[in-house]
Amino acid sequence: MSLQVSNLSVSRGGRTLLEGVTFDVDAGHALILRGPNGLGKTTLLRTLAGLQKPEAGTVHLPEEDAVYAGHLDGIKATLTVRENLMFWARVFGTQSIDRALRTFELSDLLDRSGGMLSAGQKRRLGLARLMVTGRKFWMLDEPTVSLDQASVAQFADMIRVHLASGGSAIMATHIDLGLGADARVLDLSAFRATTPKLHASEEAFL
């Protein structure tokens, strides 16, 4: 239940963004991806999640262990918290949402509809969804956007709980979460594709 990435190259829109990306993430640990906007953090996460194919290299991550959360939260405004979570529980085949509700303090918001939640509550709901899937490897793209300091601290606590129970995470975020020794930071600028590097298919035209 660990992620091993080896010599990975990812591209977007015909241009190779990152190449030679190599790292491991083991159980109980988190990897924080850093780098300027447009570098390819989102593209890397989407590739790891299986939404797009890598240019080159290998990703070793058993599919049934991983779950992805994009930076749009995917919470349906017209469904209640319970309906949102129960849907994902059924989709991922897990039985109950109680533990997630307790851990993320959503129990008294059960019948509140998604559109009436604050930004912090939505983020907690997004994380609750990850727990409800029962999968241990979390991939998060900018999970702390629009959260205030208290909510960020809460988010960090919840990640700590996840790591402590044997889960792992990889996330792209600018914010220092203070996760301590369990979290490594990886600056992706080191893997920026050396210019001029074009997608192989574009190369063919030259």
Q: Which residues bind another protein (CB under 8 A)?
A: 13-15, 46, 49-53, 64, 66-76, 78-79, 83, 86-88, 90-93, 133, 195-196, 198, 201-206
- Record the tokens describing residue 99, joined without a space: 């533990």
Q: Measured from the CB of residue 185, what is the shortest distance to another protein in angstroms?
A: 25
Sign of the CA dihedral 61, 63, 66, 68? positive
Q: Measured from the CB of residue 181, what is the shortest distance to another protein in angstroms?
A: 29
CA distances from 140 to 7, 96, 103, 105, 201 (A): 21, 22, 18, 20, 30
Residue 6 DSSP class: E
* DSSP track, 165-193: TT-EEEEE-SS----GGGEEEEEGGGGBP
Nearer Cβ to another protein (181/206)? 206
Nearer Cβ to another protein (77/153)? 77
Nearer Cβ to another protein (12/29)? 12
Q: Which residues contact 59 (CB under 8 A, 6 or more apart)?
A: 3, 4, 5, 6, 8, 47, 48
Neighbours of 194 (CB within 10 A): 9
Residues 61, 201 contacting (CB under 8 angstroms):
no
Nearer Cβ to another protein (150/196)? 196
Compute the distance between CA of residue 189 and CA of residue 139 in angstroms, rounded to an integer: 19
Between strands 30-34 and 183-187, the pairing is parallel
Nearer Cβ to another protein (42/151)? 42
Nearer Cβ to another protein (150/205)? 205
Q: Measured from the CB of residue 51, what is the shortest distance to another protein in angstroms?
A: 6
